[in-house]
Structure 1
Amino acid sequence: MSESEALPRLDGAVAVITGASRGIGAATARLLAARGAAVALTARSAEAIDGIARDLRGAGGRAVAIAGDIGDLGWVEAMLREVTETLGTPTILVNNAGMVGPIGHILDCDPAEWARNVTVNLLGAFAALRAALPGMVAQGGGTVINVSSGAAENAYEGWSAYCAGKAGLAMLTRSIHLEYAGQGIRAFGFRPGTVDTEMQGEIRTSGINPVSRMPREAHAPPEHPARVIAWLCGPQAEDLVGRELTIRAPELRARVGLPS
């Protein structure tokens, strides 16, 4: 299946992508911009997202970079206001920002680091949703994609914080669907599988569980989950709204145009 057949045009859409400095977030920003969306990239690394935004503008797209900490809930609200003032009301929110640490057994984890993980992986996504939702509802709808994980339902040794945060995020997706589907909000949880990112490098270094011992070549490139995210932004995904989806599902891969 060709890209033009599988992926929707997103002309007129305004997308906010958290954790957009690298990996899945950066690949998603590039692909959504290529499909016509105006893109707001957010991350802590100003240099990284500034460079991506410049590239997208150089290619004729509309893009802004807003650096800050997704764990700072006040900053999240200010960021969404800036996006609205600069690009327009967001129609797509990709809650991609996340962290895996602290990696270690529960008794070895620092409580403050554990709480930081849940703040980034769950509360940050909630804050971004809460700031974006009024505008989406007012204009009749929008798409929210929460980047989830198999860790949302499977416990992995050494990942208690990550598993707990992702489990909460999965329930947040269900709650969005329950409360706002009737107002045009399309919510998805998306599990991208293991992807060749810096996070996977951190996981490999730990050596604590089977995922950490997977060879690098076993992980997918970030462009694969980015393709699914772009596809979910279009009307062809309507029958999947409200669900937790995994990139490993053969039917989804076929519909998106990924290799089996």
Structure 2
Amino acid sequence: MTPRPGPARVALVTGASRGIGQDLARGLAAQGIAVGLLARSERSLGAVVEEIEASGGRAAAAPADVTDLAAVTLAVGRLSAALGPIDLLVNNAGMIDAEVMLWEASPEQWRSVVETNLLGSFHVSRVVLGTMVSRGGGRVVDIVSGAGARDWEVATAYSASKAALIRTVGSVHAAGFRLGLRSFAVAPGTVETAMSRSMWLHASRTAFTPVERTIDLVSAIARGELDDWSGRYLRVTHDTPESLRAHGAPGARDRTFGVIPWSPDDPNLGETLVPDER
């Protein structure tokens, strides 16, 4: 029988010292989930922990750079010792490159963005998911972007890394569903953060996606309400826990990352390599 993880009790949120990560940590703590915070700034993390604890929640922080596997391993160990085994991982740490064409991009910045967004997510998942499997499962959310699901002429490192994360979510689902893992790609829309405000694309924007929509969706994932959508790309600008539940279980190709076929017999339609046992 396929293991079915229960509601999350302990979460780990990366990039939790500011922006969406900080808001997610607060929101999950308000749901009664103990939250481990991981980011580079120890001082900023400490302030978030104090705020959560002052509101009656449980939290602990461990500073680390997600691009450093050894540092991530130590940080995850510290957080697990303080709060208990992690059963919800939110890979949120990320950055964006300059909004220029690929042939104008800085090679150093391009590498840094991919290392943070993609390699960083891999490092944390590599450390956490094996323990989840040994305990009968858990859930992992990768914070992605619409930029990873469509073509965009600039910020190519950001787009490529987010596309790769969507594919990684599908791979974790294919490999881990029978072992109790549930994996989700969540695109938060354009939330007002320091990063979004730094982009010329949003220089004149006056309406932003409320971060509460991301908190609601990730909280529903944490409770196990959206497990039918494991392996899928979810957009908080269009999806809510209610709309996803009302839709029912998705089809085999719904909201997955792949090549669009030109006809029903196009070999690019793809095949399900691992049976989908939702």
Give the TM-score category using the shorter length. 0.7 to 0.9
AA at the equivalent of 1:238: D
Q: TM-score, normalised by structure 2?
A: 0.81
1: CA distance, partners of 2:94 / 2:175: 25
**198, 201, 212: which one pairs with 1:223?**
212
- Structure showing greater Rg: 2
Aligned partner of residue 184 in structure 2, secondary structure: strand
2: CA distance, partners of 1:250 / 1:158: 26
> Does the Cα contact within 8 Å between 2:61 and 2:79 map onto a contact in 1?
no
Gaps of 5+ in 2: 1-5, 246-278
Deviation, structure 1 residue 255: 5.7
**139, 143, 148: which one pairs with 1:147?**
143
Aligned partner of residue 16 in structure 2, secondary structure: coil
**82, 100, 110: which one pairs with 1:86?**
82
Match of 1:160? 156
Aligned partner of residue 60 in structure 2, secondary structure: strand
Structure 1 residues 132 and 17: CA distance shift in structure 2, 3 A: same
**240, 244, 252: which one pairs with 2:233?**
244
Corresponding position: 1:108 with 2:104: yes
**45, 60, 64: which one pairs with 2:60?**
64
Gaps of 5+ in 1: 1-8
1: CA distance, partners of 2:203 / 2:29: 35
Deviation, structure 1 residue 107: 2.2
Structure 1 residues 171 and 85: CA distance shift in structure 2, 3 A: same
Structure 1 residues 36 and 251: CA distance shift in structure 2, 3 A: closer
More contact order relative to length (CA 8 Å, sep ≥ 6): 1
Match of 2:25? 29
Q: TM-score, normalised by structure 1?
A: 0.87
Percent of pairs identical after alignment?
35
RMSD: 1.8
Corresponding position: 1:212 with 2:202: yes
Would you say how many aligned residue pairs link Structure 1 and Structure 2? 240
2: CA distance, partners of 1:69 / 1:253: 36
